[in-house]
């Protein structure tokens, strides 16, 4: 590889994220926040017509505004290096992740893919192997890891401030699927409740995967075994909309994970509590700038984003002084910041600074797929239930 010594804006393409889509627009705003990369190509929707209309909305050049992702890839491979994209962002429903990710990695492109990574463990293993073989950057947008106070929590655990971790409780509660809106034309609900598109799980795959990743990121604990109770509380729904799990971690810590999309009135209530021998941390996504530190033998502290006494990782993830709210898009931008740093280092022929290239990898995505698979397997087995 020839070293690229003159920094420039990176170029990216997007697959999915067309008109009326949810998360693609968030990805684009997050990428735009730091001005490090620009959208130059896309295959933005499942229908060619809507894909092109969506690309026109975003002012894509006609010859880079494609009706399907295969044409996008073919076209990129024909382009000279100074025009070609540096990475592709995949923001389609889950069933499309694997073929697109696999094809772009095999063609040597860096990839950012939303969660859950793919449908099966075999697909996840194949992707991990392809990324290792091709040496590409591969990020999975577990965007909650980008919050400064999540990074501070990770640092406090790593530095031993909590002592030995003994108990973790993570909850991801939403209420938007409390009624059968998938039958009333809600597109996001429709594919999420269809096993062919969503995968083997509903709520556990959609938001439980975020909860699993948050626990793994902050604590570094590895799940040893789990016991899951999954239900479809809205009658007729094919996939779970409510899940409660007990977790046993290697080393003895215990955990509880809740993922539910039928908690009426709740919005995006992701919350984490980690207790060690020396104290507890509490973080909530809906108040992301605060991290509660409750030491066993001292006064309680509310740590706030943007404060000078935070660790390096949290400081770097913050753009504004304390008291000026930052949120979801900034956290997402921090994941992309890590990806950009890694790609830039590779273009310059250097090893990336790990503090900068801080983003969830393909292996994290693969562990998420395993989590979903084991959760569904546990829920199917009634072995742990004692009749009343």
Ligand X SMILES: NC(=O)c1ccc[n+]([C@@H]2O[C@H](COP(=O)([O-])OP(=O)(O)OC[C@H]3O[C@@H](n4cnc5c(N)ncnc54)[C@H](O)[C@@H]3O)[C@@H](O)[C@H]2O)c1
Which 133-172 positions form the footprint of ligand X (CB under 6 A)?
141, 143
HEC secondary structure over 16-70: ECCCCCCHHHHHHHHHHHCCCEEEEEEECCCCHHHHHHHHHHCCCCHHHECCCHH
Give 202 or 276: the residue with its C-beta nearer to ligand X.
202
Q: Which stretch binds ligand X (CB under 6 A): 19-27, 58-66, 306-314, 368-376?
A: 19-27
- Quick check: 16 binds ligand X (CB under 6 A)? yes
- Quick check: 187 binds ligand X (CB under 6 A)? yes
Give 261 or 280: the residue with its C-beta nearer to ligand X.
261
Binding residue for ligand X, selected from 30, 31, 65, 69, defined by CB under 6 A = 69
**Cα–Cα dist 348/153, whole Å:** 32
Q: Is the sign of the CA dihedral 330, 332, 336, 341 positive or negative?
A: positive
> Whole-number minimum distance, CB 384 to ligand X, in Å?
29
- Quick check: 114 binds ligand X (CB under 6 A)? yes
> Whole-number minimum distance, CB 163 to ligand X, in Å?
32
- Quick check: 92 binds ligand X (CB under 6 A)? yes
Q: Which stretch binds ligand X (CB under 6 A): 14-22, 125-133, 228-236, 294-302?
A: 14-22
What sections of the chain are H helices per DSSP? 23-33, 48-57, 69-78, 94-106, 121-134, 148-158, 187-192, 195-198, 203, 209-219, 312-316, 328-347, 362-380
Binding residue for ligand X, selected from 10, 40, 96, 105, defined by CB under 6 A = 96
**Cα–Cα dist 196/368, whole Å:** 18
Binding residue for ligand X, selected from 39, 40, 85, 91, defined by CB under 6 A = 91
**Cα–Cα dist 46/52, whole Å:** 10
Which two three-digit tokens encode residue 268? 């995006």
Q: Which stretch binds ligand X (CB under 6 A): 77-85, 153-161, 185-193, 224-232?
A: 185-193
- Quick check: 98 binds ligand X (CB under 6 A)? no
> Whole-number minimum distance, CB 98 to ligand X, in Å?
11
**Cα–Cα dist 24/92, whole Å:** 8
> Whole-number minimum distance, CB 184 to ligand X, in Å?
15
Binding residue for ligand X, selected from 4, 32, 33, 46, defined by CB under 6 A = 46
Q: DSSP class of residue 266?
A: -
3-class state of residue 10 by DSSP:
strand
Which two three-digit tokens encode residue 278? 């020396």
3-class state of residue 181 by DSSP:
helix
Give 111 or 310: the residue with its C-beta nearer to ligand X.
111
Binding residue for ligand X, selected from 10, 37, 41, 43, defined by CB under 6 A = 43
Residues that bind ligand X (CB under 6 A): 15-18, 21-24, 43, 45-46, 69, 91-94, 96, 114-115, 141, 143, 187-188, 191, 206
């Amino acid at each position: 590889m020839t070293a690229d010594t003159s920094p420039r804006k990176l170029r990216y393409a997007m697959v999915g994220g067309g008109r009326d889509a949810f998360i693609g627009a968030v990805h684009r705003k997050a990428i735009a926040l730091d001005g490090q990369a620009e959208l130059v190509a896309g295959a933005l929707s499942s229908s060619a017509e809507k894909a092109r209309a969506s690309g026109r909305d975003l002012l894509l050049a006609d010859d880079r505004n494609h009706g399907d992702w295969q044409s996008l890839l073919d076209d990129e491979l024909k382009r000279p290096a100074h025009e070609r994209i540096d990475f592709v962002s995949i923001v389609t429903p889950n069933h499309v992740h694997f073929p697109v990710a696999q094809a772009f990695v095999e063609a040597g492109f860096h990839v950012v893919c939303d969660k859950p990574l793919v449908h099966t463990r075999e697909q996840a293993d194949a992707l991990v192997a392809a990324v290792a073989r091709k040496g590409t950057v591969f990020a999975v947008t577990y965007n909650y890891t980008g919050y400064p106070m999540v990074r501070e929590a990770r640092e406090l655990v790593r530095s031993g401030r909590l002592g030995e971790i003994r108990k973790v409780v993570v909850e991801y509660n939403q209420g938007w699927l409390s009624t059968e809106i998938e039958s009333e034309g809600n597109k996001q609900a429709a594919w999420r409740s269809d096993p062919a598109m969503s995968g083997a799980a509903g709520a556990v795959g959609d938001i439980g995967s975020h909860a699993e990743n948050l626990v793994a990121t902050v604590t570094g604990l590895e799940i040893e075994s789990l016991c899951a109770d999954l239900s479809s509380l809205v009658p007729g729904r094919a996939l779970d909309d409510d899940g409660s799990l007990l977790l046993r971690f290697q080393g003895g810590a215990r955990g509880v994970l809740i993922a539910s999309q039928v908690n009426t009135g709740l919005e995006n209530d992701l919350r984490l509590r980690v207790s060690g021998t020396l104290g507890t941390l509490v973080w909530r996504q809906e108040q992301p700038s605060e991290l509660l530190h409750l030491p066993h033998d001292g006064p309680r502290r509310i740590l706030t984003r943007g404060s000078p006494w935070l660790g390096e990782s949290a400081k770097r993830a913050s753009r504004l002084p304390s008291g000026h709210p930052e949120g979801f898009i900034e956290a997402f931008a921090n994941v992309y910041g890590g990806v950009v740093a890694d790609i830039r280092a590779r273009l310059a022929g250097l090893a990336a600074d790990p503090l900068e290239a801080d983003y969830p990898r393909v292996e994290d995505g693969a562990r998420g797929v395993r989590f979903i698979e084991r959760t569904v397997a546990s829920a199917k087995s009634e072995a742990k239930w004692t009749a009343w």
